[in-house]
Chains A and B, each alone.
Chain A
Amino acid sequence: MNRYPLWKYLVIAVALLIGFLYALPNIFGEAPAVQISAAKPTLKVDLTTQSRIENILTEGKIKNTGLFFERTGNIGSIKIRFENTDTQLQARDLINQKLNIDLKDPNYTVALNLLSNTPHWLSSINALPMPLGLDLRGGVYFLLQVDMQGAVQKKLTSLATDIRGQLRDKGLRHQGIERAGDVINIRFGSTAEADTARSVLIGPQAELEWQVEKSADGAKLVGRFKSAALKEVQENAVKQNIVTLNKRVNELAVKEPVIQQQGAERIVVQLPGVQDTARAKDIIGRTATLESRLADPVASSIGLNETPPPGTDVFRFGENRLGVFKKSVIFTGDRITDASAGFDQNQRPSVNISLDAAGGRVMQEITRENIGKPMGMILFEKGKGEVLTIATIQSEFGSKFQITGQPTTESANDLALLLRAGSLAAPMEIIEERTIGPSLGLENIEKGFKSLIYGFAAIAIFMTIYYMLFGFFSVIALAVNIVLLISLLSMLQATLTLPGIAAMALAIGMAIDSNVLINERIREELRNGVAPHTAIAVGFDKAWATILDSNITTLIAGLALLAFGSGPVKGFAVVHCLGILTSMFSAVFFARGVINFWYGRQKKLQAISIGQVWRPEGK
C-alpha cells in the first residue's frame, strides 16, 4: 500500500534535478573581472565596442573565461571574466591604454570588478547565483523622492509661455496670465472674450482642461491639467530623473548599480561597494548645465592636436574631435522646456526642441543673423564641456525648432534624453539612506549562515535520535527543502539579504513541524496497535489536513508582510512565503516518497524504525 507509482518518483527526481542545478551556482563564488562602461554621455558601449575589446584581448594574447555585454536602460556595459587577478590587472591596463586615447580624460571607464564564477553550461540555462543585498556585501542605498509639485509647476510655466503666444497670434487681448499653484489663470474683461479664448486654446492646449469663471471685474479662464496629462508629466519627470541618475552613477564605475522607480514618485538607488556616501551624494545631486553656442563658421570641429583659432573655446566632440565655439552663450539648458525625438517632414529622425519665451526671442535674433552657420549644444558636468551636437542653421526660427542629422531614431532619442537630462526634471530629496561597510556585510553573511547551519544541525541530531530512521528521512526532506528554496530564489533572482537568511532559518524551523506531525501521528497509530504499513498510510493522511491548516495560517502572515512590507521586510516575506510552499512539497510528498521507497517493497513489515513507541500498561 505504501508505494508510489513511477510518475511520482519521476516528479521527485525532476524536481530534485532542477533544484540542485539552479541552487548550484550559489557555491561557485566570484572571479576577478574587468568592467568597461562609457565615461562620456555621448559615447555608447555596444556590440561594436565589444568586438573592439575582443580584438584588443586577442592581440594582447590575454585569455578570458567569459565576455558579457549587458544593458540597463539605454546604458550598456561589458564585463570580462579572468582566471586570476594577474591577468585581470594586465587586461585592465591593456584595455585602458588601447581604448582611451587620452588617459587623463578617458572615454571609457575600465574598472576592476568581480563576476560570478558559475560555469558556462550553468549560466547558459540561466542558472545564476542569488545577488547579494547591500547588507551582505556593503554599499550605499538611497531612496529619493521626486518633487512632483516642482515638476508640474515647471511644466505649467512653460505652457503659460506658449499660451501667451497663441493668444497673441489670434489677436486676443487679455489682462494677464499667471500660474497659481496647479492652475493657469488668464484674466479677461468679459465672459465673451474668455469664451473666445477658450475655443482658441482648447485645441492646441489639449493637456489642460479649460473653464470660464466669472470674477468681479470680468471673467477668468482657468486651465487645469487633465488627470491623464498630469500623470504623464509626473511619469516623465521620474523617468527623466532616472536617466540622469543612471548617467551620473555610471561615472562612479560602480559594479551593478540599481536605479529603479518605486511607487509613483520615488527612485531607489543602490550602489554596491561604494563607501564614500558624501561623494556618491555629490555626484547624484550634481546639476549639469547645457549651453548653446555658435560654432566657429570656418572649422566647427578640429582634430585633437590642432590649435583652435583665437577667441574660441574648444570642447570634446565625440571620441577624437574637438568642437570649436564662440565664447558667448545663446541660451542655457534651463531655457529648454522640452526635447523629444521625432521625424522631420522628410521622415528623417530629428530632435524637436522647445524653448521658453526668453530663449525663443534670443534664438530668433541669433538665427536671423546666422543662417547657414553652425551652432552647437554643449553639456557641462564637473566643469568639463562635452559637445552633444553641431548643426547648421537653415532658417530663422524661434522657440520651437528641430535638429536633424541624427543617423537613427535611437540616436535621436539619446540626444533628446541628454538635452533634457542637462538638469533634473524635478528636484529630488533623499528620504532614506543606508550605508553598510564591506566588513560588516561579510560578518552578516557569516553570522547568518552560522546560525542556519547550527540550527539545522541541532534539529537534525534531535530528529534522528528521537524518531530514528523516520527522523533521518525528515532531515533529508528538510535538506531538500533548503535546496529547493535556494533554487527557487535563484531562479527568481531574488536578492538575498540578512532578513532573507533569517527567513530561511525560520522556514526550516517551521517546516520540521510537518514531519513531527506525521511522525507523531504514525506513532499514535502504532500505539493503538495498527500494523506498520497501515500506520504509515493513515499517519500521512491524517496529518495532511493539519499541515495544510498550519501552512495556511503562516501563509496569511507571510502574504500580509509581502503586501505591506518594504525593503528588508519584503525580502523576509518572499523567502518566508516560498519556504512554506517548498516545505509542503518536501515534508509531505518527498518524505513520503523516501519512506515508500524504503519500506514499500517489504510486503510483510514487522516493525518500522520510528523510535520507541511507548504503550501505557494494560493496553
Chain B
Amino acid sequence: MEFFRIRKDIPFMRHALLLNAFSLLTFIAAVFFIWQKGLHLSIEFTGGTVMEITYPQTAPLDSIREQITKIGYTDTQIQNFGSSRDVIIRLPLLKDQAGQVIPSADQSAAVMKVLEASNSGAKLQRVEYVGPQVGKELAIDGLKALVFVVIGIMIYLSFRFEWKFAVAGILANLHDIIIILGFFAFFQWEFSLSVLAAILAVLGYSVNESVVIFDRIRETFRKQRKMDTKAVIDSAITGTISRTVITHGSTEMMVIAMLIFGGPSLFYFALALTIGILFGIYSSVFVAAAIAMWLGVKREDLIQGERKANDTTRPEDPNFGAQI
C-alpha cells in the first residue's frame, strides 16, 4: 500500500502568496482574539480554588449555584465536568475584611458543608488550591520555558543551516503557537500547565518538520543545478510530503486516543497537541519554506557555506553531505 503516488513535483509554491495571506489572516485573527478575549487561565496561573464534586444523579447546577451564593461566595464558576454528574466549581481568591486571603480549606469546607446539607449525596473528588504567589511564579516560569525553547531552537537552526532558514523555521512555528493560543482564546478553553507543556512539546516536534524540508531543499539545490529556487522548494516538499503526513498521522493517532479515552483531565492537553500537529504540517509545508523563499534563499547561500566549512573534502561531489 502506498498513499502517495506522485508523478511530478507538486507546485506547492504556486499559491504561496495566497496561502501566506491566509496564514497572516489567521495569525492576525489569533492575535486579535488573544488580545480581545484573553486566555481563560486555569487557577494554576491565577490562584484560586477548584473543587470537583460528584453526584450519584445528575448534578443540580442551579441549586448548587444558589447555595454557594448564599454563603457569600460570588464570582464563582460552576460547570459540568466530563459528565452531567460531575461538577467543577471554581472559586477565585477571596479576601476577608482585613484584606487577608482566606485559607482554602475554609473555603472548600464551607462549600462542602452547604452542599452536603442539602442531602444530595455530593462527594468531594478533588480540591486544588493555588495561592496568589505560586500562580504568578508558574506563569513566569511558563514564559521562561517558552523563551528558552524559542532561543534554543533558533540557535540550533542557525548552527545547522543558514540564518534565513533559521528565521523562517522559527517564524513558522511561532505562528503555530499563536494559532493554538488563538483557538484557546476564541473558545475560552481552559489554559492550564499541561496545555503549556503540550504546546512546548509540539513546538519541538514540528520544528523538526521544517528541518527535514530544509535539508531536502539543500540537497536538491546541490543535485539540480538548473532548477530555480521555486522549483527546488516544490521538489523538496514533494519528496518529503509522504513522510510528513505519515509521521504526523501516526502521532495524531496516539493523540486522538488520548482525546477520546483520556477523560477530561487529558482533554485540553490532547486538543492543544492536535491543533499543534495539524498546523505544524501546514506551516512546515507552506509557511516555513515560503518565508525562506521570500527571504531570498539562493543556491550560493547553501553551497558556499558548506565549502568554507569543509575545505578538504570533495566539493565536486554533488551528493556530498546529502541528507533527507
Shortest beta-carbon distance, A580 to chain B, in Å?
9
Instruction: Given the known inter-chain contacts A435-B126, A443-B263, A564-B145, please indicate yes or no for A553 contacting B207, CB distance below 8 A.
Output: yes
Q: Report if B21 contacts A (CB, 8 A).
A: no
Q: With a CB–CB cut-off of 8 A, which chain B residues contact A462? A: 249-250, 253
Closest Cβ of chain A: how far from B175's Cβ, in Å?
A: 16
Given the complex of chains A and B, what is the CA–CA distance between A435 and B203 in angstroms? 32
Q: Could you tell me the distance between the alpha carbons of A451 and B201 in the complex, rounded to whole angstroms?
A: 18
Contacts of B261 in A (CB 8 A): 447, 450-451, 454
Q: How far is the CA of A614 from the CA of B324 in the complex (A)?
A: 19
Q: Which A residues touch B295, using CB under 8 A?
A: none
Are A437 and B125 touching (Cβ within 8 A)? yes
* CB of B179 within 8 Å of the partner chain: no
CA distance A509 to B261 in the complex (A): 15
| A537 on the B face (CB < 8 A) | no
Assuming the contacts A143-B134, A431-B134, A505-B257, asked whether A444 and B265 have C-beta atoms less than 8 A apart, the reply is yes
Task: Tell me if A's interface is mostly helix, strand, loop or mixed.
Answer: helix
Residues B258 and A565 in contact, CB atoms below 8 Å apart: no
Q: Which of A436, A546, A567 contacts B125 (CB 8 A)?
A: A436
Chain B residues 198 to 231 lying within 8 A of chain A, measured CB to CB, are 200-201, 203-205, 207-208, 211-212, 215
Q: How far is the CA of A452 from the CA of B258 in the complex (A)?
A: 7
In the complex, B196 has a CB within 8 A of chain A:
yes
Please state if A569 and B131 are interface contacts (CB–CB under 8 Å).
Answer: no
Measured between alpha carbons, how far is A556 from B141 in the docked complex, in Å?
Answer: 16
Q: Is the CB of B260 within 8 A of A546?
A: no
For the complex, give the distance between the alpha carbons of A554 and B2 in Å.
28
Known A509-B250, A542-B323; contact A553-B205, beta-carbon cutoff 8 A: yes
From B1, B105, B197, B243, give the contact of A277 (CB < 8 A). B105
Shortest distance between the CB of B39 and any CB in chain A (Å): 17
Q: Find out whether the CB atom of A611 lies under 8 angstroms from the CB atom of B2.
A: yes
User: Which A residues are CB-close (under 8 A) to B104?
Assistant: 430, 433
Report whether A549 and B211 are in contact in the complex, using a CB–CB cutoff of 8 Å.
yes
C-beta contact mask, B246-257 vs A, less than 8 Å → 1, else 0? 110111111111
User: Among the listed B109, B255, B273, which residue makes an inter-chain contact with A278, where contact means beta carbons less than 8 Å apart?
Assistant: B109
Q: What's the nearest-Cβ distance from chain B to residue A618, in Å?
A: 9
> Which applies to chain B's interface (DSSP): helix, strand, loop or mixed?
helix
| B133 at the binding interface (Cβ < 8 Å) | yes
Asked if B250 and A543 sit within 8 Å, CB to CB, the answer is no
A558 and B201: CB pair below 8 A? yes
Flag if B145 contacts A563 (CB, 8 Å): yes
B48-68 contacts to A, CB under 8 A, are 52
- Tell me whether A613 is interfacial, beta carbon within 8 Å: yes
Cβ–Cβ contact A564 & B255, under 8 A: no
Complex CA–CA separation, A61 to B145 (angstroms): 59
Q: With A566-B138, A568-B194 as known contacts, state yes or no: A557 contacts B204, CB within 8 Å.
A: yes
CB contacts (< 8 Å) of A561 on chain B: these are 145, 197, 200-201
For A434, give its contact among B123, B128, B250 (CB under 8 Å). B128
List 24 contacting pairs A-B, 8 Å CB cutoff, sorted by A.
A278-B105, A278-B109, A434-B128, A437-B124, A437-B126, A448-B266, A454-B261, A455-B255, A455-B257, A458-B257, A502-B266, A509-B255, A520-B246, A521-B324, A553-B153, A556-B152, A557-B204, A563-B148, A564-B144, A565-B145, A566-B141, A611-B1, A611-B2, A614-B5
